[in-house]
Structure 1
Amino acid sequence: MNLVFRLLWVVITAFRRSKLGMMEESVITLRVLPNDLDTNIHMNNGRYLTIMDLGRVDFIIRSGMAKQLREQKWYPVVGSAKISYKRSLSPFQRYELKTRVHGWDEKWIYLEQEFVVGDVLYARGIVKTLFLKDGHKIPSSQVAHAIGYDGSSPEINPADEQALS
């Protein structure tokens, strides 16, 4: 149930926060709650992926993508995700989830998401996503253009791209 409240909190606060450009970073501050824990009394590895959804929701709303999704009748689909865990998040520990566009090719948009405490990286995930309409893929450049970005993609780390294939 706490995930529903977190989602509502992210949605409500996203509309009140500053707008983001496509190449800007979304940052949300969260806390490890008791239902996030596993038997080792640290944040469950699967919960990181669930929390990453919240970061993408904040980014989608604040970048103006949510408006485009409604108007164009597009919907996002995750193709794959890779996460590396560096340190454990403890009960009630505050952390930031940072979400940014890592780059794109014609089909996929790669998002980088990091769990950090201060300047210390706890986990890093790369998510490969695309947008569909009526089952047809929307070119990534069209998605970028729809939210006001006409530049080219940043260079994608080949290791990240290969890991998600």
Structure 2
Amino acid sequence: MQNRNISDIIEQYLKSILAEASQIEIKRSEVADQFDCVPSQINYVIKTRFTLQNGYLVESKRGGGGYIRIAKVDLISDPDILDEMIEYVGDSISETKAFQIIQTLYENDLLTHKEAHLVAAAIERSTLALSDNKLEDLIRAKIMSSILNRLRCADQ
């Protein structure tokens, strides 16, 4: 455990709870106390590791009775999530964020292993190979949006 930082440990803890339930509700301060860290560390873990592109929906309520609700999305039974992913992609997306979406699609059985590799090959930096990073992110977003739209319409 020496090589793991506190963010990794908190992430694994939350994922282990999510493995047993489709969603969890936590109090930021209680989890922070449990791991002897500041509550902002919990925010950081949730903001960076429990994102839509990683297959999670997060809802929070601030205040004394506040909570953070984390739910693992099931893209097969809730295709509206694909619409949210399309909205997330928007007009521009980085290679890293696009790869996270591909991983989520694979984990939710919307892409086979081979298909995920093909999509990754189509959107990676070395394939697009443009000198303008903004244009590259724009083209990547168009490709990802098109794929997500096709997946959204495939089951209808």
Radius of gyration: which is bigger? Answer: 2
Higher relative contact order (CA 8 A, sep 6+): 1
For the criterion TM > 0.5, the same-fold answer is: no
Which band: TM-score by shorter chain? 0.3 to 0.5
More helix by share: 2
Q: If the length of structure 2 is used for normalisation, what is the TM-score?
A: 0.36
Q: If the length of structure 1 is used for normalisation, what is the TM-score?
A: 0.35
More strand by share: 1
